[in-house]
Amino acid sequence: MHKKILVIGATGKTGRCLVPMLAGNTVTARPASRKKLTGHVLFDWASPETWQPAVEGINAVYLVGPDLVEDPSGQVTAFLDSARQAGVARVVGLSSLGVSFPHEPPMSGRSKVESAIMGSGLEWTILRPSGFYQNFSEGFFAPGLAAGRVQTATGSGKAAFIDATDIAAVAAVALTQPGHTGQIYALTGPQAFSISEGVEVFARSTGRTISYGALTEDEFRSMMLGFGLPAAFAEVVVRDQLAIRNGFATEVSEVVEQVIGRPPISFAQFVDSVVNVSL
């Protein structure tokens, strides 16, 4: 049977890796994004009228929720209802390892999104990745690396960050192969390291002087609000930072290798692949 898979967030860190992985004789990817791009279907979480056309004829959905929204569970629930009515059978949802941290409130927005996925009536798989390596090259830490100083509230705490490529590879398997329904996968890289250690790897690879600065919780919160993050979402980021600082993100999972048949990409491999990026 030929499968058609909707990839929400197709221009994002995991989505842009996933789309080419799904290309094959038995699978067609339908990339979805908020912008009108060639080969993409229009999909905007803030515009429900874009949802139904996006899921027409679709068998499975890779679901990435709206950006910078603390609790998008209402939107996700409504979309999944629409998808089920359109005949979609399977959903693979991108969540966060932070849902499992002790700091997480029991009714947090992202835990409610997971509940919506599990209660959707579709075959479901939930991916809970740690922080992305790509946050160093193009995300949260990138401006600091470019400026020569990275500041966080994680202190000396470590986390087993992961490459977005590996998250996409697990998603591709869960979307196209049997045996993954009803699974919640904690996804990490092969080794936990501190932000300071990650900065040192980049500094050595680029030959630049890049320092790390530890912030207090309040200092970090003020920095996030200064960046323009909505207050509720800023608290999610603060919560995850404190979880790392307190040692709750160090566990290394074997799920990536179990699902895709190879070890996860190391941070050193990732840095080697992006050293040509201007930092």
Please tell me the predicted confidence (pLDDT) of residue 273.
93
The reply to whether the predicted model has a pTM over 0.75 is yes
Query: Which 3-state string (H, E, C) describes the chain?
Result: CCEEEEEECCCCCCHHHHHHHCCCCCEEEEEEECCCCCCCEECCCCCHHHHHHHHCCCCEEEECCCCCCCCCHHHHHHHHHHHHHCCCCEEEEECCHHHHCCCCCCCCHHHHHHHHHHCCCCEEEEEEECCECHHHHCCCCHHHHHHCEEEECCCCCEECCECHHHHHHHHHHHHHCCCCCCEEEEECCCCCEEHHHHHHHHHHHHCCCCEEEECCHHHHHHHHHHCCCCHHHHHHHHHHHHHHHCCCECCCCCHHHHHHCCCCCCHHHHHHHHCCCCC
**Whether residue 193 has pLDDT greater than 80:** yes
Q: What is the pLDDT of residues 136-180, one digit of tens each?
A: 999 889 999 999 999 999 999 999 999 999 999 999 999 999 999
pLDDT of residue 276: 63
Domains of the chain: 3-274 (3.40.50.720)
